[in-house]
A and B are shown apart, each in its own frame.
Chain A
Amino acid sequence: MSTERERDDEYESGGGTFGDYGGQYVPEALMPALQELEDAYERYVLENEDGFMDEFRDRMRDFGGRPTPLQRADRLSERYDREVYLKREDLLHGGAHKLNNALGQVLLAKYMGKERIIAETGAGQHGTATAMAAAHLDMPCEIYMGRTDVNRQRPNVYRMRMNGAEVNPVEAGSATLKEAINETMRDWATTVERTHYVIGSVVGPHPFPRMVRDFQAVIGEEIRDQIREKAGRLPDSVVACAGGGSNTMGTFHAFVPDEGVDLYAVEAGGSSLEIDEENGMAPNSATLSTGTDGVLHGAMTKLLQAGDGQIVESHSVSAGLDYAGVGPELSHLVDIGRVTPTNVDDDDALNGFHRLSRLEGIIPALESSHALGYLEEEHDELGDLVVVNVSGRGDKDLETVLEETEKRDLEAAPEIEVFDG
């Protein structure tokens, strides 16, 4: 939490906006619930009423395993001839940064007297983290997940069920994260009086983007302390992947006031950066790099959309980055030049996956592999001291990686026959 550090509120206005982005574009039925949430966020999260933040930090330590290490990556440092450090969010309970937010929100729902938890999930990491947090805090939990994602992220579906959550497959559209969010919002509009919607990234209507960022900000706060201790100074650059942008904002938030630290948000370049308007498809999820301003899922932000306003279907080899929107705060930080938007295509992300697995003994999530792909491509631009956020571990992706690797000729991949057993 940034309570110790002076918050940089310059670009945050009171009405839930970041510059031109953000806001609350939701059905009227949800507005009272958003106001109730805003009130609870201010009291419990910002002011630590009833010791909420103390309990949150204690649980993140004992249940979640915080702090996570900042590790010097010896072989990557040698390969790129500069100091490379990895923030090991893959070591957090559940295998990704998602628990920071999920546990924070489920605990908040409990303080608010809510009786039921719902959430959407893409890769299944947020659903898994929410199911774990709900089991840990004894709350009933239902997860919405697109059918395509159910099929490509099976291990996470099993984990959610093991933790007692119901998993509702969503069949609409391309049946990925966007459709799962639509369906969770519909559930919430029906059950809002007793249910809390644990949104999984820094997206959605105010106060979600800000609140989720605050729960995730622990990543960057730890990095700041750890890098000072290990390297004696702040890094030249910090790199994180961006889907909705929660690991991104969590990693960046503490560094936003540090003008000397360059911030790189790495999106999914997919197979191409073009949008096919006729068929309503983008073969990428590079919203910050290529999107235009509009309103989706409750916020004004950058979007992948056709000229007439229809949202297009995004694509990425990584389910967790496969989203046509992005957090409004990131849109703003990109517009004011504080965050550099970049992207890495499916092939380079897969290479990043194999390289980290081989060189460092860490199997990263396909989402995080985009950040590692960027490091390979652009390390010369990143200065002498670089931190990369490894937002999650890749166990969930092994099947996808084997399949996708077989289709391609990847320089960093091992011989795939090895796996035939």
Chain B
Amino acid sequence: MSDTSSEYDSDIEAAIRGNHPALITYITAGDPSLEDTKAYVEALDRGGSDLIELGLPFSEPIAEGQTIQAAINRALAAGTTPEGFFELVEDLETEAPLLVMTYYNMILQYGSEPDVRPFVERAAEAGLSGIIVPDLPAEEADPLRDACDDNGLDLIFIIAPTTEGERLDAVMSRVSGFAYVQARLGTTGARANVSGATYDSLARLSKYDVPKAVGFGVSEGDHAAEIIEAGADGVIVGSALIDIIASSDDPSDAVDALEAKAAELKRGARRGAETLTDDPEDTPEPEQP
């Protein structure tokens, strides 16, 4: 785990700002087993991930596209439980801080009564640095926000292409760690290009002084370069990594490929950052949506 530098409010903010441009990687815990996940996370860490999101599988992943849905199904079929997940986190030794991404009901049901606190306390104890909940908008987030504050965890909010005006202010006022910029409408899943909505969203967010990381559809080093060039502080990649896991004949075959993919993405992000410092006036042309 990286130390919280006094310059920054949290591990997560330090991981992004201190390693600019940051690479954030996501995989689903338990796909295809928790032992494999351990090896995969360590490979992603070696490959240059600055922050790693681990999915705790939920049976109704409404924000997920086909790739992550399939990963979640494999993880559930393998019997992945919240307790197994936390034990995995305790076992991991990574440079990159770890985040958990899961749906609200999983958080509510962790204790004996529906309540967010037992989950957050266990997450903090296991060494997680933050939580992302794709089905928890700012309006419903106060109980979890308070529990995270009390336990020193960041609660990450997603900014959608449709988040504008007063809503954007309201959501941004609650952001900690970083703003998760959703690159396009729809679900998660690797795409072949960077969406025009990414440029619009980054432009709308430029007035807010929080780290911004772009996810939903990022799959290649070149995308990472484009997104960093457009003003993001980090890129988030998930489905492209899960494609590697899903297509390897033997689970252990994916380890090297994941490390290499992370390295490619990190190099791409660096390229984007270099373009920016070479010619700060050269703002990239937005792609037409």
Residues of A within 8 A of B (CB): 15, 23-33, 35, 172-173, 178, 182, 185-186, 189-193, 280, 292-298, 303, 305, 307-311
Q: Which of B1-9, B12-20, B108-116 lies at the binding interface?
A: B108-116
A31-B167, A296-B60, A311-B59 known; A189-B109 Cβ under 8 A: no
Q: Which residue of B lies closest to A32 (CB)?
A: B162
B203 interface contact, C-beta 8 A: no
Residues of A within 8 A of B158 (CB): 27-29
Q: Which residue of A lies closest to B64 (CB)?
A: A186
CB atoms of A294 and B62 under 8 A apart:
no
Residues of B within 8 A of A33 (CB): 162
**Cα(A163)–Cα(B158), bound, Å:** 39
Cβ-Cβ contact count across A and B, 8 Å cutoff:
119
CB atoms of B60 and A178 under 8 A apart:
yes
- The 8 Å CB contact of B105, one of A32, A191, A305, is A305
Residues of A within 8 A of B26 (CB): none
Q: Which of B104, B135, B161 has the most CB atoms of chain A within a 10 A radius of its CB?
A: B135
CB atoms of A27 and B160 under 8 A apart:
yes
CB<8 Å pairs between A and B, sample of 27 = A15-B139, A25-B137, A27-B135, A28-B137, A28-B138, A28-B160, A28-B162, A29-B158, A29-B185, A31-B160, A31-B162, A32-B167, A186-B187, A189-B63, A189-B185, A192-B185, A292-B114, A294-B108, A295-B105, A296-B60, A297-B60, A297-B62, A305-B105, A308-B81, A308-B109, A309-B82, A309-B109
A182-B60, A308-B109, A311-B60 known; A28-B157 Cβ under 8 A: yes
B210 interface contact, C-beta 8 A: no
Give chain A nearest CB distance to B140 CB in angstroms.
6
Q: Which residue of A lies closest to B65 (CB)?
A: A186
CB atoms of A186 and B62 under 8 A apart:
yes
B88 interface contact, C-beta 8 A: no
- The 8 Å CB contact of A32, one of B60, B64, B134, B163, is B163
A24-B139, A294-B109, A297-B60 known; A308-B82 Cβ under 8 A: yes
B94 interface contact, C-beta 8 A: no
B147 interface contact, C-beta 8 A: no
B76 interface contact, C-beta 8 A: yes
Chain B contact residues: helix, strand, loop or mixed: loop
Give chain B nearest CB distance to A185 CB in angstroms.
5
Give chain A nearest CB distance to B74 CB in angstroms.
13
- The 8 Å CB contact of A26, one of B58, B82, B135, is B135
Q: Which residue of A lies closest to B184 (CB)?
A: A190
Number of interface residues of B (CB under 8 A): 43
Report B159-200 CB contacts with A as 1/0, cut-off 8 Å: 111111001000100000000001001110000000000000
Report B62-79 CB contacts with A as 1/0, cut-off 8 Å: 111100010001001000
Residues of B within 8 A of A (CB): 58-65, 69, 73, 76, 81-82, 103-110, 114, 134-140, 157-164, 167, 171, 182, 185-187
Residues of A within 8 A of B103 (CB): 295
A182-B62, A186-B186, A309-B108 known; A192-B137 Cβ under 8 A: no
Q: Which residue of A lies closest to B171 (CB)?
A: A28
**Cα(A379)–Cα(B140), bound, Å:** 43
Residues of B within 8 A of A172 (CB): 69, 73
A29-B160, A31-B139, A311-B105 known; A280-B59 Cβ under 8 A: yes
Give chain B nearest CB distance to A338 CB in angstroms.
22
Chain A contact residues: helix, strand, loop or mixed: mixed
| Given pairs A29-B160, A296-B105, 14 additional interface contacts (CB within 8 A) | A25-B135, A27-B63, A28-B137, A28-B158, A29-B163, A29-B186, A31-B139, A31-B162, A182-B60, A186-B64, A186-B187, A193-B185, A294-B109, A310-B76
Q: Which residue of B lies closest to A280 (CB)?
A: B59
**Cα(A143)–Cα(B170), bound, Å:** 34
CB atoms of A28 and B182 under 8 A apart:
yes
**Cα(A298)–Cα(B104), bound, Å:** 10
Residues of B within 8 A of A310 (CB): 58-59, 76, 106
A28-B171, A32-B167 known; A191-B185 Cβ under 8 A: yes
Give chain B nearest CB distance to A63 CB in angstroms.
33
CB atoms of B59 and A173 under 8 A apart:
yes
**Cα(A293)–Cα(B63), bound, Å:** 22
CB atoms of B167 and A308 under 8 A apart:
no
**Cα(A30)–Cα(B160), bound, Å:** 9
CB atoms of B185 and A309 under 8 A apart:
no
CB atoms of A307 and B109 under 8 A apart:
yes
CB atoms of A26 and B162 under 8 A apart:
no
Q: Which of B62, B103, B114, B137 has the most CB atoms of chain A within a 10 A radius of its CB?
A: B62
Give chain B nearest CB distance to A245 CB in angstroms.
19
**Cα(A411)–Cα(B196), bound, Å:** 65
**Cα(A29)–Cα(B135), bound, Å:** 10
**Cα(A311)–Cα(B103), bound, Å:** 12
Q: Which residue of A lies closest to B133 (CB)?
A: A25
Q: Which of A178, A193, A309 has the most CB atoms of chain B within a 10 A radius of its CB?
A: A309
CB atoms of B137 and A305 under 8 A apart:
no
Q: Which residue of B lies closest to A307 (CB)?
A: B109
Give chain B nearest CB distance to A316 CB in angstroms.
19
Residues of A within 8 A of B164 (CB): 32
Q: Which residue of B lies closest to A34 (CB)?
A: B137
CB atoms of A26 and B137 under 8 A apart:
yes
Q: Which residue of B lies closest to A172 (CB)?
A: B69
CB atoms of A309 and B135 under 8 A apart:
no
Residues of B within 8 A of A24 (CB): 137, 139-140
Q: Which residue of B lies closest to A191 (CB)?
A: B185
Residues of B within 8 A of A28 (CB): 137-138, 157-160, 162-163, 171, 182
A24-B137, A185-B62 known; A309-B105 Cβ under 8 A: yes
**Cα(A186)–Cα(B134), bound, Å:** 12
**Cα(A189)–Cα(B184), bound, Å:** 10
CB atoms of B187 and A189 under 8 A apart:
yes
**Cα(A27)–Cα(B215), bound, Å:** 14
CB atoms of B161 and A29 under 8 A apart:
yes
Give chain A nearest CB distance to B21 CB in angstroms.
24
**Cα(A27)–Cα(B107), bound, Å:** 16
A32-B164, A309-B105 known; A27-B59 Cβ under 8 A: no
A26-B135, A309-B58 known; A293-B114 Cβ under 8 A: yes
Give chain A nearest CB distance to B167 CB in angstroms.
6
**Cα(A109)–Cα(B170), bound, Å:** 27
Residues of B within 8 A of A280 (CB): 59
**Cα(A29)–Cα(B134), bound, Å:** 10
